[in-house]
Amino acid sequence: MAEWRQVAKACALGDGHISIKEVEIMRAVILADGTANKSELAFLQEIKKEAKTAVKALDELIADCEKVTK
């Protein structure tokens, strides 16, 4: 069985661009409980690094997660 990170990364980076819709989905899932853990933050940083392009909203999501990471 694939690990959630591999599946999510494949979906987010499928076309090389992280769209606003993808960021909205990740925001809803990651911050559903009002916090983010180190693994979730690391995941966001990884996909930002590996993406060819990304919307500014991804940077904003990363910043928001950094503020609430446990």
Domains of the chain, by residue range, sit at: 4-68
pLDDT at 4: 82
Q: Are 30 and 70 in contact (CB under 8 A)?
A: no
Please report which confidence band the pLDDT of residue 1 belongs to, taking 50, 70 and 90 as the band edges. Answer: low
pLDDT of 46 reads 96
Q: State the Cα–Cα distance between residues 6 and 33, nearest whole angstrom.
A: 22
Q: What span, in angstroms and rounded, lies between the C-alpha atoms of 54 and 17?
A: 5
14-61 pLDDT, tens digit per residue, is 999 999 999 999 999 999 999 999 999 999 999 999 999 999 999 999
